[in-house]
Structure 1
Amino acid sequence: MDSPSGSARDRDFENMTDLERLQALVRIETPSLDSGAAARVVAVLAGWWRSVGAEVRIVDSASGPHLVAELSGTGDPVLLVGHCDTVWPHGTLTGDVPWVVDGDTVRGPGVYDMKSGLVVMLSAAERLRGRDHRAVRVVVVCDEEVGSPASRQLIDECTRGVSAVIGFESPHPDGALKVGRRGSTRLRLVVTGKASHAALDPGGGISAIDELVDQLGAVRELVADPALPGEVLCNVGTIGGGSAANVVPAHAEAEIGLRFVDPETERLVLEGLRALRPIRPGAALGVETLSHRPSWSPSASDTRWLGEIAAAAATIGQSLDGRPAAGAGDTNLIGSLGIATVDGFGPAGGGAHAVTEHASLRSLRSRIDLLELLLRSP
């Protein structure tokens, strides 16, 4: 059945239920790199954070506005990390992924990845009002789904002086937290050749497509090298070039996605890719980095932080553990620095980036309970 109407967005934060808060955020469709959409949802979030007593700063960027909130308290702040953009285009709510509540399950674009996580942060912070608690810093960026091109520096600034970090992406399917993430790099391999008539002057041209095919073969050999210390996932996601069958192509390119378990493998592969050279005389080859998130291997500080969270969970009847994740996110940028970090503090659910996207309301409330307890602890 459907939940209450979208007018919940216009009500005071204190008078809204957690479900209404989530609905209000989901009703504002926020595809990445739409600065107007980001401004609308950040304005709502800014008002809500101010209502729970935080000092709020909105940071403009080429991708749109980001939000930083500071909630004064005891000790060095705990940094809460989230994003407000989704993979879904405008019109999804009235198309493939409508807002629906059916018992414990809520569906909608971005409900799982990761607007429910934003509600966890806010609802826990609301419960802290008038009580002793840890200092809290919040950063919500608007370009995570496209690699955080305009928010990396802000995220780095927000890590300064923090005691620990919690990311609010979705958890593992069993609800476990994410401690460690594969590094993720997107590259564009660009080849420039020379056009000529494929029949009248085949030798006068330089086929950019033939050169690209051979270069992709070299990439496959590089990432499959058994001497590498760790596994590499490599996906050629797009490929294009040429204009007609009777023209030797002068241009070709491919977009490549790479995932790394450890920093040394990442370094060796990326250095190898940058060292690629054209095979055909006269061809030109370029390697352009589109986005890069370093690999985050779990550290001793991450393990201690996870243990503190698990111990707190046990006191309220929750069982919780953590392990590395295959996907990358903004916590890669933080965990790779050695700062005590966990991710996946959003509620359980499934279907991220798919029309089956959904979240559990019961899990949402459990995460709020746990975060409140963590932030109340001295």
Structure 2
Amino acid sequence: MPGDLPVMLDDLEELVLRESFSSDHDAVAASATVVAALGARHLGVRPEPIVVGGVTHLRWTFGTPRVLLLGHHDTVWPIGSLRTHPWSVTGGVARGPGVFDMKAGLVQMFHALRSIASADGVCVLVTGDEELGSRTSRDLIEQSARGCSATLVLEASADDGALKTARKGVSQYEVAVHGMAAHAGLEPEKGANAGVELAHQVLAIAAMADPEGSTTVTPTVMSAGTSRNTVPAEAAVAVDVRTADLAAQALVDVRMRALSPRLPGTRLAVTGGPNRPPMDAASSSALFKLAEQVANELGIGPLGGVPVGGASDGNFTAGIGCPTLDGLGAVGGGAHAAHEHVVVEEMPRRAALLARLVEAILEGRQ
């Protein structure tokens, strides 16, 4: 079984201690240096560094790629989070910022590739802005997946180690309301209250959701006004949309752009749109069946597979027609939360699953 657990934990500690907050390009660049060195130790070659829009991504290419291994090294944790969420391994559980999402997945990936007879036909892509929507890496991801027969995503697993067989598509919007300021005590009637208009729009936006149809439309960050005694001239709301299929994603887009103001003197500006297409279950079905076979051969089955609401870069690879299986990374929980953790005894097993799955695809078993 690939992966000496003490070595894997040393590698994981090295990655976690190098904080990599997505919005800090210098921190992401420093993290890329550490990831590149770690990969080079295990794979024998250094990666191709690719900087787009100030964000550092890494790519290893072995021969003509047929399998893309996809991950990211950025995290949602601001620099300094180690002071409040320090690296630790206690009772078989590793903790620290980004340990589950998804630095343990990177460690497992490097150990898996080190264990196979030949990596010929494999491309490894580790991006630096996944947590921000992959604005600078989307083209790179799609380019790397084209021509491949499979993409395996090293994002963390779902509950109980289940693989992620489908993901919702994501759209992101901002609705800005423009009104007119006035003194709230002397002449409020001369203003056009952007805050009140925003309240109308928030209710209209929330009503677009269809939970039974797996569509969620969620107003999130809101702002309005500049002082307590002034009619707000400006207001805004961010909107998070999750849909199971492209038709639903397009329908919400039409409805968002059709929003209209209710109060005289106000106007709206809607920006944003679809960010990631849905990852349909059909894109993962054959790969999941193969993963089940491999897990049984290794004696580490049975595997679970579930659809999830969160998105990943696997949405992009599935969106261009490359068969994609996600959630092959760490087993644990608490992504983005204070209780983020990894069950360390699962790390060698997950590395073994990945190694044999890559070999099976390269052997043409898919």
TM-score by length of 2: 0.91
Report if the CA contact (8 A) 1:82-1:168 is conserved.
Answer: yes
Percent of aligned pairs sharing the same letter: 36
**CA shift at 1:54, angstroms?**
4.3
Q: 2:157·2:330 contact (CA, 8 Å) conserved in 1? A: yes
Q: Answer whether contact 1:106 1:358 (CA < 8 A) is retained.
A: yes
Whichever residue aligns with residue 232 of structure 2, its letter is P
Whether the 8 Å CA contact 2:67–2:122 is kept in 1: the answer is yes
Distance, in Å, in 2 between the alignment partners of 1:109 and 1:293 is: 25
How far apart in 2 are the matches of 1:230 and 1:334? Answer: 24
* Native 8 Å contact 1:77 1:136 kept in 2: yes
Q: What is the deviation of 1:308?
A: 1.1
**1:30 corresponds to 2:20:** yes
CA deviation string 1:138-185 (max 9, x = no partner): 111111112112211111111111110111111111111001101122
In 2, the alpha carbon distance for the partners of 1:363 and 1:139 equals: 23
Per-residue displacement from partner, 1:30-76 (whole Å, max 9, x unpaired)? 1112111111221122233334144621111225201111123xx74
- Change in 2 beyond 3 A, CA 1:54/1:161: farther
Q: CA deviation at 1:304?
A: 0.7
How many residues in Structure 1 have an aligned counterpart in Structure 2? 356
Larger displacement relative to structure 2 (321-330 or 199-208):
199-208
Summarize the alignment of residues 275-290 of structure 1 with structure 2, pairs less than 5 Å apart.
Answer: 275-289=258-272
Tell me which residue corresponds to 1:181. Answer: 167
8 Å contact from structure 2 (residues 57, 128) kept in 1 = yes
**1:358 and 2:341 aligned:** yes
1:221 paired with 2:221, answer no
RMSD: 2.1
Structure 1 residues 244 and 92: CA distance shift in structure 2, 3 A: closer
The equivalent position to 1:18 in structure 2, one of 5, 8, 31, is 8
Out of 169, 182, 186, which is 1:196 matched to?
A: 182
Output the CA distance in 2 between the equivalents of 1:53 and 1:374.
21
* Inter-partner Cα distance in structure 1 for 2:106 and 2:55: 18
Partner amino acid for 1:360? V
Q: CA deviation at 1:133?
A: 4.9
Aligned to 1:340: 323
Residue aligning to 2:80:
91
Where does structure 2 lack aligned partners over 5 or more consecutive residues? none
Residues 209/280 of structure 1: CA separation in 2 closer, same or farther (3 Å cut) = same
Q: Give the Cα separation in 2 of the matches to 1:303 and 1:104.
A: 32
The code of the aligned residue for 1:80 comes to L
- In 1, Cα distance between equivalents of 2:273 and 2:49: 26
Shift in Å, 1:278:
2.0
Does residue 110 (structure 1) correspond to residue 98 (structure 2)? The answer is yes
- Pick the aligned partner of 1:260 from 232, 235, 243: 243
User: Unpaired segments of 5 or more residues in structure 1?
Assistant: 1-12
- Partner SS, residue 111 of structure 2: helix
Q: 2: CA distance between counterparts of 1:352 and 1:258?
A: 20
Shift of residue 202 of structure 1? 3.0
Matched, 1:140 2:126: yes
Deviation at 1:371, TM superposition (A): 1.5
1:170 pairs with 156, 171, 175, which one?
156
Q: Which amino acid aligns with 1:102?
A: T
SS, match of residue 83 in structure 2: coil
TM-score by length of 1: 0.88
Is the CA contact 2:224–2:234 (under 8 Å) kept in the aligned structure 1? yes
Counterpart amino acid of 1:288?
A: T
Task: Tell me if the contact between 1:31 and 1:90 (Cα under 8 Å) persists in the aligned partners.
Answer: yes
Q: Which residue of 1 aligns with 2:292?
A: 310
Alignment correspondent of 1:292: 275
Partners of 1:245 and 1:103 in 2: CA distance: 52
Task: Give the Cα–Cα distance (whole angstroms) in 2 for the partners of residues 55 and 354 of structure 1.
Answer: 33
